[in-house]
Amino acid sequence: MVNHAHFQLNGIKHNIPSTFLKVGDKITLKEKLKTSPLFTETLADNKIKVPSWIKVDKNTFTIEVLGLPKMGEVNVPADLLKVIEFYARA
């Protein structure tokens, strides 16, 4: 969806999925997609747990980065320290 520029980052069209976000960045959905069942049904699903460092406004289809995730908040199915050690080798 990012590659197809369905989202805007701080009000500007964005299509680079590997972009690092900063605190205060706002991601919004393009206006014409706000009525798409893909997004309206997903936001209506209350089973999705939103992390504490992200604020989701379901009315305006906006996501705001409130802070950076802490080590325990990110659920990664891998040993993160081993990954860091691997890439830290010279």
List the chain pLDDT tens, one digit each, 90 residues. Answer: 888 888 999 999 999 998 999 999 999 998 888 888 877 777 777 777 888 899 998 888 899 999 988 877 777 788 878 888 988 986
Q: Per DSSP, which regions of 1-90 are E strands?
A: 7-9, 12-14, 26-29, 54-57, 62-65
Q: Is residue 1 part of a domain?
A: no
| Residue of 76, 74, 56 lying closest to 65 (CA atoms) | 56
Q: Is residue 27 part of a domain?
A: yes
70, 49 contact by CB (below 8 A): no
Q: Is residue 2 part of a domain?
A: no
- What is the span of the domain harbouring residue 24? 7-88
Q: Where are the alpha helices (DSSP H) in 20-88?
A: 37-44, 80-88
Domain count, the chain: 1
